[in-house]
Structures are given as structure tokens and as C-alpha cells.
């Protein structure tokens, strides 16, 4: 709410709706974090924008694959995402 108000103030657009359907979750388990990290990386693939996360220009998948250690990348990629119960605009 605070960032939306500040952006609206800077844009001189008071009351403009920002962050539509924004959700925030408190992740308390490392496994939940890693599964959601993989989910976010693969979201462009899921929606048909790319065939691999590293091929979608607006995804951090390319950066992640270049900067993460091979072991961490392999760990993240090993987490299943088909059982996550997250709202997604299909």
C-alpha cells in the first residue's frame, strides 16, 4: 500500500489501482522457498512465453543460471512444482 501511494504521488495519479492481485506469503520452510523459486523461474514456460526459463527476456532465469552455483541450480531444479497450490492467472 505504501509503495503504491508513493508511486501514485510521483505520477500525480492519486487513487490509481496498483499491484492488482498482489499476494505475499511468509515462507517458513526452506523447501517451500526452493519450490517457489523454481515455480517463478518456470512461470514463462508454463504460460507458453518460452521453451526454457533462460530464453525469456523478462525472467531472471538466465541471470540465475549464470550466477548460481551448479549445485544450487541443480537443487532448485530438483523441486517438483506440480503440487504447489498457488493462484495463477491462466
3-36 pLDDT per residue, tens: 888 999 999 998 888 776 666 667 778 888 898 8
C-alpha cell at 82: 506440480
Give me the residue spans of the domains in the chain.
29-81
- Inform me whether the pLDDT recorded for 89 exceeds 60: no
What is the pLDDT, as a whole number, of residue 3? 82
- Inform me whether the pLDDT recorded for 90 exceeds 80: no
Helix axes 70-77, 30-46, angle to 10 degrees: 80
Using CA atoms, how far apart are residues 47 and 87, in angstroms rounded to an integer?
Answer: 13
Amino acid at each position: 500500500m505504501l509503495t503504491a501511494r508513493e508511486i501514485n504521488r510521483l505520477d500525480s495519479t492519486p487513487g490509481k489501482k496498483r499491484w492488482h492481485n498482489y499476494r505475499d506469503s511468509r515462507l517458513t520452510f526452506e523447501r517451500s522457498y526452493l519450490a517457489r523459486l523454481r515455480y517463478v523461474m518456470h512461470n514463462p514456460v508454463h504460460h507458453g512465453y518460452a521453451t526454457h526459463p533462460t530464453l525469456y527476456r523478462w525472467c531472471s532465469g538466465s541471470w540465475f543460471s549464470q550466477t548460481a552455483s551448479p549445485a544450487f541450480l541443480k537443487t532448485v531444479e530438483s523441486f517438483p512444482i506440480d503440487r504447489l497450490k498457488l493462484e495463477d492467472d491462466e
